[in-house]
Structure 1
């Protein structure tokens, strides 16, 4: 009998994938780090495995007898050495899968993962893809555009000040973005298709592309007050990100990514794979990030 194993099952992507698989009556083993957060997953009929994604023996136990595994590498925003921590996590995951040998692996990756250098945090996903290619499994790399939910880091400040500070330069430039839940839905659809391509690349983005100006406009409509988008000066990026809770190491990776993003280098890989489009519009995704007490009255 098939068993679908979902790493990071309590996250937005993982929960969405699990929901679709269970609606289709398929057996799912949800891998969680904190068992106290597994109540909803257990209630919908999932088998629960507890494993830190850096704990290789626990991952071996969690992925044994899996016919398909959905892989995600968490981005550790407070890690002292973010790159090293994430590479260690990738090492533990890939070694566990080398031992348990699932027939199919779907990895949540990133736009720009094809680039081998200079992409900051996205370089982690290049490393993930490179390591998974060494395994004897049918591989699907689901490369996700920037998550709409990432704007939640600056939403509170924007609502307070009326200014949305953006690392996207210029603020009028459109870029691919997608709701995290939609990535999970696309992943579920790919798993349900049960294809065994040696390697498949799928890009996931939203129904259309947006700019930071569009984000500010959507927040204005949600909150019922004017919010304008402004470029955050490049020299302020690291200090502002660190003040927001990132380690200096992770903040540098984010800054490096936005440097190449603003240079137009982060996008779907041309001529490779396909693009799937989520249905969630930006305003809907942002509405979930704004406290109801701050939304405009009808």
Structure 2
């Protein structure tokens, strides 16, 4: 009998990458992708006989049908419409919990979280993950909470501005040599897919009710590493500007973050700086999974080189 795996929301970056890996896996699981608008599911997915795009919304709880599923990946989505993030996170996670408990076949939940989500203060927008983790930590017989580093793919704007005249980019973490865990979303998708398949297939060992893993890249990276990598790819030397704490609000406002959430983003990036509440979470340890994709590989692909 084919494994049945549900991804929600399937439109998330981690969800998409996980689906790509699942579709190529030898196990050939049946995959249900939950979208607010199923018509936006990629054609490369919908043309596969073992993929189904269905309509569902974690905010309202409608369409969250996990029946028949062996395992679920949940990626708590951010909100940009001015809604209180704590309220949104609580409502969405509660809806997912209800759907999980209504599905008797569920063996495992893989929950996409974030570094720093274990703290109940001082993490800004990451409170979305803190709340989700708390509500869902016992929502299935086995819960795996995955905490990736900062995604390489989030720095496409730096690649673009380093090709302007004059080339430059701004970095919201000071100082420039402060290295943080970064990782490719492809490595995260590959790990999540493997976790979903192995749990759904079952093993002789008893499941662990709750487990946390961090997923980092091959090493930690600083703004100086990003600058050097982009200069090698573009062939242009540029200027790096690290944003001081006092300038973070303007930085995020200019970057398109809705004003209701600007201070949350400021708090999150202050927490990542030396001396911040998250700074002690950046070391590799026994629970850390080390990805294999390097920063330059991702940037070369993004630059079409």
Residue 235 of structure 1: which of 205, 223, 246 is its match? 246
- Per-residue CA deviation, residues 243-273 of structure 1 (Å, 9 max, x unaligned), is 2211122222111011111025325488986
Distance apart, 1:120 and its partner CA: 0.9
CA RMSD of aligned residues (A): 2.3
Distance 1:186 1:136, change over 3 A: closer
Farther-moved stretch of structure 1 (83-92 vs 276-285): 83-92
- Alignment-derived partner of residue 90 in structure 1: 93
Aligned equivalents of 1:27, 1:94: Cα separation in 2: 22
Alignment of 1:132-151 (within 5 A): 132-151=136-155
Distance 1:158 1:114, change over 3 A: same
Q: Quick check: 1:213–1:228 contact (8 Å CA) kept in 2?
A: no
- Per-residue CA deviation, residues 47-100 of structure 1 (Å, 9 max, x unaligned), is 2211122131311x2x12211100101122453534433333223222322333
Distance apart, 1:275 and its partner CA: 1.0
- Alignment-derived partner of residue 29 in structure 1: 32
Distance apart, 1:189 and its partner CA: 1.6
Q: How many residues align?
A: 290
Distance 1:50 1:280, change over 3 A: same
Aligned equivalents of 1:236, 1:87: Cα separation in 2: 31
Residue 219 of structure 1: which of 223, 227, 230 is its match? 230
Distance apart, 1:181 and its partner CA: 1.8
Alignment of 1:74-153 (within 5 A): 74-101=77-104, 102-153=106-157
- Alignment-derived partner of residue 162 in structure 1: 167
Q: Quick check: 1:110–1:125 contact (8 Å CA) kept in 2?
A: yes
TM-score (norm 1): 0.88
* SS of residue in 2 equivalent to 1:107: strand
Distance 1:130 1:272, change over 3 A: farther
- Alignment-derived partner of residue 5 in structure 1: 6
Distance 1:75 1:254, change over 3 A: same
Q: Unaligned regions of 5+ residues in structure 1, if any?
A: none
TM-score (norm 2): 0.87
